[in-house]
Each structure stands twice: as C-alpha cells, then as structure tokens.
A and B are shown apart, each in its own frame.
Chain A
Amino acid sequence: MSSAREAPMNWSGGVAPLGMSWQKLMMWIFIVTDGLLFAGFLASYGFARTGARSWPNQQEVFHLWFISLMTFVLISSSATMATAVAAARVADWKKVGNMVLATVGGGVSFLAMQAYEWGGLIRDGVTLGSNPWNVPAFGNFFFLITGFHGTHVLIGAIVLATLATRVRAGKTTAAGVELAGLYWHFVDLVWVFVFTLFYLI
C-alpha cells in the first residue's frame, strides 16, 4: 500500500490518489479531528494560563522525574508498536503478537502511573474546584486534559488487547495492525504535547 509512494499521485479517478485504502484514509481523518479536540483543550489552557495572575510551579507540584519515566514508557510502547507493524508486513505473526502485548503492557503501565500521580495530587488537595495554590484553572485543565488523554490510552489498550487475541486466532491482516498502530502513535504524540505544554513549560 505504501509502495505507491514512489509513483506520482493519481487524481484522475479510478484509483486512490494517496495510495492508501479508504480505511487508512479514514483513520487519518479521524486522527486529525481528534487531534484538533486536544488542540482545543490545549489552546484553552494556553488562553487561561496567559490570563492568569499566577500559576503553580510545576517543578514543585509534580514529580517530574516520574512523569518523564511515564513519558519514556509510552514512547517505548510506540516503538514496540512500530515493530509489530513491521513484523505484520512480513507476516511474522508470533512477533506481532508479542510486540502488541508489549505495547499493551506499556499502555497499562502508563495508566497505572498516571493513576498514581492523580492519587497523589488528590491527596494533596487538588480537586476540580480548588487546590492548595489557589488557581482552580490549574486543577481544571490538569484533570480534563490528562483525563481525556488517559481515556484515549485506555481505549487504545483495549483495542490492542483485542487485536492480540485475534492475532493468536490468525484473524488479522497487516492493514489492521497498521491502523491500530496509527492510533497508538497519535495517542503518544498527543502526550508529547501535553507533557511539554503542561508539565515542562
């Protein structure tokens, strides 16, 4: 499917000009719209933060080494996913199964670490309405954005777990694995933005 990349795009009808199946095109369009949803949240966060009189110091609030570890885990899971996609192309289904499971493991670890982080903050008194630093917007955006992202990770993990069982049963195609891979990389990319914009700067 990606071999058509060498040929020039053919818009004359009768062929798919981007050299990709409609399922893949649809996944890309979905990723764009979902990405824009996160962009909306992040832009709102930017609007609120630039207008805020003060903002908590992330280095004091978060355990940044822990968050960095979470980020590393998620990025690694993208690497295992990419390996799975490559293995599917050469029909090495055993490897595909293992790599997909590793990805699921990475995702679930990320979620567990995120839950631990949430638990710590909630214990410190961070709620949706207030927090010890008296900047409600901070808690609002933190839970909203990481919550949405975490939900996406969870959905991805479930889809991948299902995919792993289907691999075992011999019912998957390389295209299906690639589609799942696209979604997972997207979720990872969103996290990079969230990590940078919310935790680091």
Chain B
Amino acid sequence: MQHQATAETVVHEKQSFLRRYVFSTDHKTIGIQYYLTGGLMGVLGAFLAGLIRLQLTWPTTQWNFLAKIFPSGMEGGFMKPEFYISLVTMHGTIMIFFFVSLVLVSGFGNYLIPLQVGARDMAFPFLNMLSYWTIVPAILIAAASFFVEGGAAGSGWTAYPPLSAVPSAAPGSGLGQTLWLLAVALFIVSFTMGGLNYVTTVVNLRAKGMSMMRMPLTVWSLLIASIIGLLAFPALTAAAIMLLFDRHLGTSFYLPAGLFIAGKLLPNEGGSPLLWQHLFWFLGHPEVYVLILPALGITFDVLVPFARRPAFGYRMTVYCLMAIAFLSMVVWGHHMFVSGMNPLVGEFFSIGTLLITIPSTIIGVNMIASLWGGKLRLTSAALFAIGTISFFGMGGFGGLFLGNAAADIQLHDTAFVVGHFHFMIGGVTMLAIFSGSYYWFPKMFGRKLSELLGKLHFWMTIVPFYGIFATMHFYGLAGAPRRYYNLSQYAFLEGVRWMPMVITVFAFTMMAGQILFLVNLARSLWNGEKAESNPWESTTLEWSALSPPPHGNWGEKEPVVYRGAYEYGNPDAKEDFVPQTVPT
C-alpha cells in the first residue's frame, strides 16, 4: 500500500485546546470550522440583502437605527446611493465566496471526502489547516472594508474596470476596492490549497476496493468541482494582479486612452476593459459550477437513502457531471454578449452554452427517476433534497433565456439574471446545504436535529424562495435593470410596481424561517437526542464510523469496500440496504 500514514493513530497524547479545536489538522474539525464560519457569513450576507430590500421597497423611509450601525452610509437614516452599490457588491461577494463556497465546498467537502472514500484524513492535513486559517483574514478584511474611507467596494462582485480600476471613479473604488481584491486573493489561495488536498485525497487515498465508480456522487461532484476550480482560478488571480497594478502602479492593462474621470483626464492608454471581462468570466463561469456541482452530488446522496432505491443512472450522472464541467470552461462569453465583443463570437458562446442543457437535463431526470419505485421517507433532509430538484429545473430553464444571445439582449443586466442565478447558486446550493445538514448532522455531532423544526424550516424556505426569485424573473421580463438604487422614476415599469413589495415580504418571511434552523442547530448541539452510527440506514462509508468519528476515523482497521455506493432495495438482502463494507 502506498498510503502515507498521514493521521496519527487512534491513541495519542492529549493536545492543547488550541491544537485540538482551533489549529486542528483533523479534517472533521476543519470541516466544522468552515461550516460554522460560512454559516456566520451567510447570516451577514442575508443581513445585507435585507438592507437592499429595504431600500428598494421603501426608498423614502428614514431608518434611524441603521444610521447608528452605518453612520456614513445611512447618514440621517437615509441610504446613500454609493452605500447601496457597496451593499450589492458585498452581498454578492460574501454569499458566493464566503458562504456557499465555504459551507458547501469547504465545509462538507472537508468533512465528507476522507470519510466517504475510506481515508483517515486528507492527504496533507497541515495544508488543510492553513487553508482554513487563510480564510479568516480574508473575511476580516472583507468585513473591515465597510468601515474604511469611501466604504466597501462598489463595482459589483464582478469588479469591472474602469470603475474598479480608477479610485476616483466611485467612493467604493478607493481603499474598499483594494481590500476587496486582497480578500478575494486570500480566498483563492485558500481554495487552491483545499483543491490540491481534495484531488490528491480522492485520487490517492481511497480505501481498498473503493474504485472510482463505487464512490458516492458527493465525492465525484467535489472532485470534479475542485478540478475546474483549480484550472479556472488562476485566470482571476492574473486578472486581480493586473487590476492592482492598474490601481496602484500606473499601468494600463484595462484602461484605454482618453478617460475623463472626476474632472481629470487620465494619462493611461492602451488597455482594454474587455480584457478584465474575459479573464474574470473565465473564472466566473466555472466558479458557479464549482458551487452547484457539489450541491447536485449531495442531493443524490440524500435522495437515495430516503427513497431506498439506488441512484438512477449513476454512471450517466458521473459522465454528465464531467461534461458539464468541461463545457463550463468554454462558455464564459455568454456573460459578455452585449459587451462590445465580436457578436459572432457571441453566437459561438451561445451554441456552447445551450449544450450544457443536455447533461443538466439528464441529471435532473436522473434525480426524479431515483424516486421511482421507492418507499419515500419524508424526513427534513429528504424534503430539502426534493425541493432542490424543483429549484434546479426552474433555475436551469431560466438559463435557456440567458444563454441565447438574441434573448439575452433584452434580459442582460435585468432582474431576470438576478432571479436566475439566485435559483442556481443561491437556491440549489442553499437547499443542498440544508439537506446535507439535516442528513449529516447526526454523524458530525452525534446528536439528532428536531424533525418538527426541520419540516417547518422547509416550508418557510421553499415557498417564499419561489415568491422572491420567480417574481424577479417576471420583473426582469418587464425590463427592470439590476443594481439600481431606485427604480421609481422609470415609467416603463409602471405595470410592475407591486413586485418589489411582494419580493420583500417573501424575503423577510424566508429570513425568519431560517431562525428555525439556527434554533434547531443550537438546541441539538446543546442537548439533542444522541444519534447512533447509522440512523438513516445508509450504505456509504461514513455511516460505518462512529457518530462522531474519532480522530483517524476508523479505529484500528481501515475499511475495505466490496460494493457500490447505493445498494438499496436489493431483493437478496436481509435488510433493504447493504453497506459498502459488507463482503459479497
């Protein structure tokens, strides 16, 4: 065996609190650190969204208590337009990088990969610890950027130059933008370290008998997501470095000649704003698949034990995940149809983008078909997993509009886009986070979550979510532009003035519903009912470890795998499931 004994043996000397819980190199502790940190950032991102909704729905109301928290942005209780733009920017940045990526990819990924492949820990536990502790300063820098002069970055999470490259172009383009770039750079470093670990662990540290086609879909999706992330992030690193140069060293990578900003003619020449867009979206598009693929994998892992049937079309799903990943790297231009890029290039990107509908639809069909012939156990986890299928369909079909270059002319930069991506990287991902949480909480903490609270949480999430983001699709069809501080003066929106209010009511309802989840977590962590090893009667490897697993995961003997990941409903078995470790 070419394993490296990377984890200490089960019995080891007592470690200090710091080494065991703060600077831990155990993948499970690191996974939980990511999960909780990301969760906290999700709450912050939701708070920012709440502020955005307040402005869009009640632009003339005075919010005095908010002026106390944000004295310059909410001076006198009224929101300044530049503060609104920085809210929009930071909401997106925090939710994408510091909530969804952290919880779904880093949190669940770190926790589950070694357990599901039968390893004792990740390939390089020390690097793993470093990857988490690189995120912490990134988050602190991002949060601090709100309180510097000029406020947080204000050029959208997309940071298009010249707005982001010229400090005088907007208040948020000063120190706030530099801090944004630093935070994102640190995130990329952290992600790269994590991605290296994931790929190496899955390739090299699988247990005996755990062939690639016996791995759960969670692991496949995380592996594939890590690969495209590793391939795509360097483009953003390159782009960010060049943007920092333009901002601070007088270069002109993105700045053409003749820019007249803040009353001054700038000396730059020779650069192109389109260069940033190409580089950014070369990362940006695969990035959203880095977020959604693990969500799809987790959804399968949750649906299957609660349907008591094998995943329908497991192999095909694996191939489709690979196809989506490959295609995702060659369609970045669909964000740039009206950018000034050659329109014929746009048609090429359009054709490529619509190819992605094929493997995506097959995956959606496979999810639905996995329910066929099953005996559904509608636990909270299962409810969220089933809801994910609906979200994936709704969001995915919206993608047909946007990937189509002709239709996109009307829909680009409208609320339709906002509705679409919230379904995909805010809906599918968030529901997968919840279904994964309800499913794996017993394994992670050795306790059970309340099913009653979980079900209430489900209903208070799924219905309002549709209310918010389906409405946004219609708002975008009506032509409402995105990133607008105030839309009330535009006559062409007269017929849809009622929509922002409806969206906001659903939004606050949904936010309230999330409190149920937080309460559930806190209560169960404190004194929830103890959980056994395999409360859901699942087949995958993690359920043959203790709840929670000890350091080193498996005790003295590493597991040996004899069968695939989803042997349920097998007529030859005594029970209706056969764990992977049971010999044939």
A interface residue numbers (CB < 8 A to B)? 11-19, 21-23, 25-26, 29-30, 32-34, 36-37, 39-41, 44, 47-48, 51-52, 127-130, 135-137, 139-140, 144, 148
Contact = CB atoms under 8 A, between A and B. Distances in A.
Max chain B C-beta neighbours (<10 A), residue from A16, A34, A148: A16
Contacts of A13: 117-118, 206-211, 214, 561
A47 B273 CA distance: 12
Interface stretch (B57-65, B229-237, B525-533): B229-237
A30 B251 CA distance: 28
B199 A29 contact: yes
Interface in B516-567: 560-561
A22 B238 contact: no
B209 A12 contact: yes
Interface stretch (B155-163, B262-270, B397-405): B262-270
Interface stretch (B82-90, B242-250, B439-447): B242-250
Nearest to A141: B253
Given A13-B118, A136-B251, A29 B211 contact: no
Indicate the size class of the contact surface on chain B. 35 or more
B92 interface: no
B339 interface: no
B196 interface: yes
A48 B275 contact: yes
Contacts of B269: 136
Contact of B238 (A14, A32, A37, A130): A37
Contact of A22 (B123, B241, B270, B271): B123
- Prevailing SS type, chain A contact patch: helix
Interface in B26-60: none
B209 A40 contact: no
A16 B203 contact: yes
B11 interface: no
Given A16-B204, A40-B282, A41-B242, 13 more contacts: A12-B211, A13-B118, A13-B208, A13-B211, A16-B2, A17-B203, A18-B204, A19-B2, A26-B197, A29-B199, A48-B275, A128-B251, A135-B270
B253 A140 contact: yes
B200 A140 contact: no
Contacts of B208: 12-14
Nearest to A52: B270
Interface string B216-233: 000000000000001101
A29 B200 contact: yes
Nearest to B558: A14
A136 B252 contact: yes
A137 B271 contact: yes
- Across the A-B interface, the 4 shortest Cβ-Cβ residue pairs: A14-B208, A40-B238, A13-B210, A36-B234
Contacts of B196: 26, 29-30
Interface string B115-132: 001100001100100000
Interface in B167-216: 192, 195-197, 199-201, 203-212, 214
